[in-house]
Amino acid sequence: MGYKINVHYEEKPCYDIIIKESYDYLIDELNKLDIKNRKLCIVSDSTVGKYYLEELSDRIKESTSIIESFVFQAGEENKNLNTVQNVYEYLIEKQFDRNDILVALGGGVVGDLTGFAAATYLRGIRFVQVPTSLLSMVDSSIGGKTGVDFNAYKNMVGAFHQPKLVYMNVSVLKTLTDIQYFSGYGEIIKHGLIKDKEYFKWLKENTMLLKIRDTNTLEETIYRSCLIKKEVVEKDPTEKGDRALLNFGHTLGHAIEKLMNFTLLHGECVAIGMAAAAHLSYNKGYLTKEELTDILETIHEFELPTTVSNLDPNDIVKASKNDKKMEAGKIKFILLNGIGNAIIDDTITDEDMLKALSMIIK
Ligand SMILES: NC(=O)c1ccc[n+]([C@@H]2O[C@H](COP(=O)([O-])OP(=O)(O)OC[C@H]3O[C@@H](n4cnc5c(N)ncnc54)[C@H](O)[C@@H]3O)[C@@H](O)[C@H]2O)c1
Ligand SMILES: O=C(O)C(=O)C[C@@H](O)[C@H](O)[C@H](O)COP(=O)(O)O
Ligand SMILES: [Zn+2]
């Protein structure tokens, strides 16, 4: 099996997303990027680096002989400017110039951080995404949102910078821990909820196969999620309008992620944030009781939380005010007007949020 998707930027072909189990496809595509006499630096984290850096490096040697690698300690707490600075220092030491290229080998933390380093080093160099977590395969590697956390505020500093290629090999998912694997379903369920009722239904029908990581079902899931994300980001690459729909569950989810000091995973916080947003949608009359129950049960089915403990709802509302979707002091909140149909609502008050939060704080 395998899939290929072409992503357009400003209506021109921009990069391919390749979902294939053989690294031969990556090498073919890298060769097209004219890297023979260029330097290439693989950026990875300590966990992914241990498993896959040597293997990938050996294969890439077929395309260029000048390969460097930079590995940082795994974890969201390292997605910050300090690590970016260490990347810059390394690239300067190795005399990387504007024609050279970075390869992000890892999950969303590596992808966001490497993409930001590529966007800013020498005012911008090329980079390739090789996502290795489920979450990064279905979401973070696509669409060119790069960046880091700042003073623990999520993705506060960043840039839009499109990759030259996104290549994913689903066989690497075998080493992903269960908790990290299911975290990816936070974003996958989100894709169904915001854009595709039939996909949401299909996910529920295929839960058992997905839980045992059946390769074909997983590849189809990744492909369908990538297609949904591609369609949204192509129409609105820099989030002037409907790209904000991809932020469903994130307004409160990001606030919870920060307040929990990153002890919960991104996908887990998105799941809790989606549960809160679903309650809010129900309170506004946009979802039926049955739809709300269906959403909460599906999130549980994929071993994700819909509640959180030991947080003050007022703190969550306060932290949500730093959301990047604030405009003139008003929050653009993403709600569901039925499953598969997300909408942007700028009339949500603190009281609306507090009422929804009372249903998810235990
Ligand atoms: N740019 C975007 O559009 C976008 C979209 C969604 C999420 N994000 C960001 O992505 C990050 C979350 O990504 P994530 O869930 O991949 O987290 P992550 O990058 O921290 O990866 C999760 C953990 O799994 C390990 N790992 C990754 N692949 C592995 C593999 N194949 N085998 C074994 N271990 C592996 C990593 O080392 C890490 O410890 C957050 O910072 C979030 O804000 C960005
Ligand atoms: O690609 C997007 O746009 C998204 O919103 C995808 C989200 O899953 C992702 O977590 C993103 O990084 C959040 O963006 P932010 O601008 O709210 O930081
Ligand atoms: Zn997300």
Last residue of a domain, one of 171, 204, 220: 171
Residues 6 or more apart whose CB falls under 8 angstroms from that of 361 comprise 307, 308, 309, 311, 313
Q: Does ipTM come in above 0.95?
A: yes
Does 175 sit in the ligand 1 pocket, CB within 6 Å? yes
Q: What is the CATH number of the domain that holds 240?
A: 1.20.1090.10
Mean pLDDT for the stretch of residues 48-66: 94
Same domain, 254 and 150: no
Same domain, 202 and 151: no
Q: What is the CATH number of the domain that holds 162?
A: 3.40.50.1970
Question: Taking 80 as the threshold, does the pLDDT of residue 214 lie above it?
Answer: yes
Three-class secondary structure of residue 128 per DSSP: strand
Last residue of a domain, one of 149, 171, 193: 171
Mean pLDDT for the stretch of residues 11-23: 95
pLDDT confidence of residue 1: 78
Same domain, 144 and 231: no
Segments forming the whole domain that contains residue 93: 3-171
Ligand 1 centroid – CA 348 distance (Å): 31
Ligand 1 centroid – CA 274 distance (Å): 19
pLDDT confidence of residue 232: 98
Q: Is position 250 annotated in a ligand binding site?
A: yes
Same domain, 89 and 190: no
| Beta-strand runs (E) in the chain | 3-9, 12-19, 40-45, 67-72, 101-106, 126-131, 145-150, 153-160, 165-168, 326-327, 330-331, 333-336, 342-345
pLDDT confidence of residue 326: 77
Does 164 sit in the ligand 2 pocket, CB within 6 Å? no
Does 180 sit in the ligand 1 pocket, CB within 6 Å? yes
Q: How far is CA 80 from CA 58, 70, 90, 121, 194, in A?
A: 29, 15, 16, 15, 30
Mean pLDDT for the stretch of residues 247-267: 97
pLDDT confidence of residue 62: 87
Q: Is position 238 annotated in a ligand binding site?
A: no
Same domain, 142 and 8: yes
Q: pLDDT tens for residues 330-349? A: 889 999 999 999 999 999 99
As a whole number of angstroms, the distance between CA 286 and CA 303 comes to 26
What is the separation, in whole angstroms, between the first and last Cα of the chain? Answer: 44
**Mutate which of 188, 246, 258 to test ligand 2's pocket (most atoms within 8 Å of Cβ)?**
246
Same domain, 209 and 279: yes
Last residue of a domain, one of 145, 171, 197: 171
Same domain, 244 and 165: no
Mean pLDDT for the stretch of residues 123-127: 98
Which of residues 11 and 206 earns the better pLDDT score? 206
Same domain, 145 and 207: no
Residues 6 or more apart whose CB falls under 8 angstroms from that of 181 comprise 134, 173, 213
Same domain, 215 and 126: no
Question: How many structural domains does the chain have?
Answer: 2
pLDDT confidence of residue 360: 98
Same domain, 124 and 214: no
Same domain, 225 and 97: no
pLDDT band at 261 (very low <50, low <70, confident <90, very high): very high
Residue % of the chain over a pLDDT of 70: 100
**Predicted TM-score of the model (pTM):** 0.98
Same domain, 276 and 309: yes
The catalytic residues are 123, 145, 187, 229, 239, 243, 247, 250, 254, 266
Q: Which of 345, 332, 231 is nearest to 285 (CA)?
A: 345
Q: Which two tokens stand for residue 32?
A: 């097209």
